[in-house]
């Protein structure tokens, strides 16, 4: 490559009037060992551009989207839940039917008696509570008046 | 679009995305993350990819915008960790080291350029795109690209000359 030509190209280069091909010739020219001293100052620029193009992206990119996987896990979870509900219910509903077969008549009667006593005592408790309510009403009256 | 098809489309210009990201973000790790982010974004939009007439230019624009956003974000203060390129040093000749040194200076000078000039210089002198393509990527008119490029080249030249005359300073 003639020196004259290179100098012209350089001038055009700094005016951004060169084509891609012309810039390529400049880069190849400056990549060689022997460059005239007055042009040496430009060499690092072109060498740098050539070097910079060598850099590569080496990191692996995980392209498989994880969203799909999560979606199917949730579908499976719903399935398991439904199966659990379906098989869980009948065992509970079958319990009270054979009460008479498991316990004797006397046992059932004593249980009923105990429950009746509990009922009566519970009634007493609630009656007491109504007194308490009355008490609160009167205190409220005092509080609102003051 | 299958993964292999996607890779065929993306692989030819993924290095370009990375280099552009690195030019703007300086740090290698940041640039890698940015590139990965852009590729994943492209992958998630793969159905729309066929409708873009120039996927490469679109990806470059995405990268540019993403990196500029990163720089603007709060974390920008953390991006100053400069990666210095220690490549293989086979022979310790003084001349070679000197040459390397001034080549490295170009990188440092480029880091100081305004973002637009940085981008134009990267896209033209490193990646060798046409003015029209650069205009499309940066949303500029080709004439504006030319002006910015000329300014950037002259700036690099002048700063390089300064370094040579006054030494490191």
Residue A47 Cα, gap to closest chain B Cα (Å):
7
Within a domain: residue B82? no
Q: Domain check: are B51 and B104 in the same one?
A: no
Distance spanning both ends of chain B, measured CA to CA: 53
Write the ipTM.
Answer: 0.75
Within a domain: residue B83? no
Within a domain: residue A89? no
How many A/B residue pairs have CB atoms within 8 Å? 80
Q: Domain check: are B44 and B109 in the same one?
A: no
Tokens of B7: 């890779």
Give residue for tokens 């066929």.
Answer: B50
Q: Is the Cβ of A51 closer than 8 Å to some Cβ of chain B? A: yes
At A120, the pLDDT band (50, 70, 90 cuts) reads very high
pLDDT in tens, B60-75: 999 999 999 988 885 6
Give the alpha-carbon dihedral of B97, B99, B102, B103, to 10 degrees. -100
Q: Domain check: are B69 and B105 in the same one?
A: no
Q: Is the Cβ of A14 closer than 8 Å to some Cβ of chain B? A: yes
Boundary-marking domain end, from B53, B77, B101: B77
Within a domain: residue A25? yes
Q: Domain check: are B104 and B161 in the same one?
A: yes
**Does residue B4 contact residue B46 with C-beta atoms inside 8 Å?**
no
Across the interface, whether the CB atoms of A14 and B3 are under 8 A apart is answered no
Chain B residues with CB inside 8 Å of A13's CB?
153
Measured between CB atoms, which of B3, B160, B161 is closest to A63?
B3
Q: Domain check: are B62 and B107 in the same one?
A: no
pLDDT in tens, A51-62: 888 888 888 877
Q: Domain check: are B127 and B154 in the same one?
A: yes
pLDDT of residue A102: 78
Within a domain: residue B152? yes
CA B138 – CA B136 distance, rounded (Å): 6
Q: Domain check: are B67 and B9 in the same one?
A: yes
Within a domain: residue B87? no
Boundary-marking domain end, from B48, B77, B106: B77
3-state secondary structure B102-130: HHHHHHHHHHHCCHHHHHHHHHHHHCCCC
Question: What total number of domains does chain A contain?
Answer: 2
Q: Domain check: are B12 and B64 in the same one?
A: yes
Residue A74 Cα, gap to closest chain B Cα (Å):
21
Q: Is the Cβ of A22 closer than 8 Å to some Cβ of chain B? A: no
Within a domain: residue A125? yes
Chain B residues with CB inside 8 Å of A62's CB?
40
The domain that holds B136 is classified in CATH as 1.10.10.10
Within a domain: residue B85? no
- Residue B114: domain span: 92-166
Residue B72 Cα, gap to closest chain A Cα (Å):
24
- pLDDT at residue A1 tops 70: no
Q: Domain check: are B50 and B13 in the same one?
A: yes
Within a domain: residue B109? yes
Q: Domain check: are B50 and B102 in the same one?
A: no
CA B53 – CA B132 distance, rounded (Å): 14
Within a domain: residue B20? yes
Tokens of B145: 């690209």
Q: H-type helices in chain B, by residue range?
A: 3-25, 28-44, 46-49, 55-72, 94-112, 115-121, 131-138, 142-166
pLDDT in tens, A61-74: 776 655 667 788 98
Within a domain: residue A95? no
At B169, the pLDDT band (50, 70, 90 cuts) reads very low
Neighbouring residues of A111: CB distance < 8 A, sequence distance ≥ 6: A103
The domain that holds B66 is classified in CATH as 1.10.1740.10
Within a domain: residue B86? no
Within a domain: residue A80? no
Boundary-marking domain end, from A31, A52, A73: A52
Across the interface, whether the CB atoms of A57 and B43 are under 8 A apart is answered no
Of residues B148 and A38, the one with the higher pLDDT is B148
- Residue A13: domain span: 3-52
pLDDT in tens, B116-134: 999 999 999 889 898 999 9
Distance spanning both ends of chain A, measured CA to CA: 111
Question: What total number of domains does chain B contain?
Answer: 2
Mean pLDDT of B3-26: 88
């Amino acid at each position: 490559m003639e020196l004259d030509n290179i100098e012209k190209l350089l001038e055009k280069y700094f005016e951004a009037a060169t084509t891609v091909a012309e810039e390529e010739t400049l880069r190849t020219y400056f990549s060689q060992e022997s460059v005239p001293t007055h042009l040496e100052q430009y060499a690092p620029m072109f060498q740098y551009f050539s070097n910079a193009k060598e850099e590569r992206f080496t990191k692996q990119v995980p392209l498989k989207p994880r969203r799909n996987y999560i979606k199917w896990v949730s579908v499976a979870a719903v399935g398991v839940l439904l199966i659990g509900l379906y098989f869980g219910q009948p065992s509970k509903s079958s319990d009270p039917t054979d009460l008479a077969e498991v316990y004797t008549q006397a046992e059932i009667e004593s249980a009923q008696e105990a429950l009746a006593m509990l009922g009566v005592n519970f009634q007493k408790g609630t009656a007491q509570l109504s007194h308490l309510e009355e008490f609160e009403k009167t205190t409220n009256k005092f509080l609102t008046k003051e | 679009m299958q993964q292999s098809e996607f890779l065929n489309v993306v692989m030819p210009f993924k290095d370009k995305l990375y280099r552009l990201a690195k030019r703007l973000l300086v740090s290698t790790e940041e640039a890698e993350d940015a590139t990965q982010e852009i590729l994943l974004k492209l992958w998630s939009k793969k159905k729309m990819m066929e409708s873009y007439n120039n996927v490469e230019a679109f990806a470059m624009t995405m990268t540019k915008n993403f990196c500029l956003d990163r720089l603007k974000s709060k974390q920008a203060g953390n991006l100053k960790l400069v990666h210095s390129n220690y490549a293989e040093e086979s022979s310790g000749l003084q001349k070679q080291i000197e040459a390397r040194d001034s080549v490295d200076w170009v990188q440092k000078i480029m880091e100081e350029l305004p973002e637009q000039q940085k981008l134009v210089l990267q896209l033209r002198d490193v990646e060798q795109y046409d003015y029209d393509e650069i205009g499309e990527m940066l949303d500029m008119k080709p004439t504006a690209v030319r002006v910015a490029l000329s300014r950037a080249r002259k700036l690099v030249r002048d700063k390089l000359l300064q370094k040579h005359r006054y030494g490191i300073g």
